[in-house]
Amino acid sequence: MEAISISPHIKRKANGKISIKTGNKSERVMKWTISTLTLLTIMAFLFFNYDGLDLAKAIPETAYNLKVMFLEPGLSHFTWGAAFYQVGITLGLAFLSTILGAVIAFFLALMAATNLSNKWISKTVRIFVAIVRAVPTVLWVLIFAIAAGLGSEAAILGMLFHSIAYLVKAFSEAFEEVDKGIMEALKATGASWWHIVTHAVVPSTFTYLLSWTFLRFEINFSVAVAMGAAAGAGGIGFELFMASGFYFDMREVGLITYMILLLAIILELMSTRLKNRYFPATAK
């Protein structure tokens, strides 16, 4: 019996029964994507080179290394004072790249926001920062290392470049959410562009700017740990690289991992307190 179509997912048959077809195009695409990725993952494991791998030895040795790392942490190649100093270097790299990036990104975001800037200027800035964001931070660090040499300078420049692109997108989208009525009212009173920015845009978006900046600081801290080894920038990341790649000291690796984890938790608690104080509606 032929069915009478009522909607793409509901059909009424001639005998009066209704046939409901579940799912839509986006759900089917998502299912096919997940299935394809799962299949590719399984195939990747099948094509690995397992020569020389002895699971009977690998599993107990891995378990022993994890036990030593996390149950018997300790310092062997540097002191506690040196450890806190290296942590300070890592925090300094993250803080400097975040603060400089936030200041520069603020002014670029004003040019990128469609409600505050010319259409062509906005598009140009958006395309530029999109290209910058598409390149991983570590590649920017290595690019700047060609000119500045491996060290903290290259690490800061690389993180700064990517932080600017990241925050420009976040800040400009926040600026575009400002109530148009407020801006029109200020324009009607003869307020200049800069007065609109300082008296309407910034007060309305301050909590967003603060939240995004602190989030980027958390990201930069994690990146600074990695750059300590990849770019020779020093800090606790370099000590982690030396302990794992040169000394093979699992106890030291475990202690450094605990220090990084503790700092990450502290930063998360600080972020939560800032959200509760300045942006309680989002924190709930």
Instruction: Give the integer Cα–Cα distance in Å for 173 and 282.
Output: 17
Instruction: Give the integer Cα–Cα distance in Å for 172 and 108.
Output: 8
In the 8-state DSSP scheme, what is residue 113?
-
User: What is the residue-wise DSSP string for 202-238?
Assistant: HHHHHHHHHHHHHHHHHHHHHHHHHHHHHS---SHHH
Q: What is the pLDDT of residues 154-193, one digit of tens each?
A: 888 888 989 999 999 999 999 988 888 888 888 888 888 8
Residue 101's pLDDT band (boundaries 50, 70, 90)? very high
End-to-end CA separation in angstroms for the chain:
54
In the 8-state DSSP scheme, what is residue 6?
S
| Res. 4: pLDDT tops 50 | no
What mean pLDDT is reported for the chain?
Answer: 82
- This prediction has a pTM of 0.74
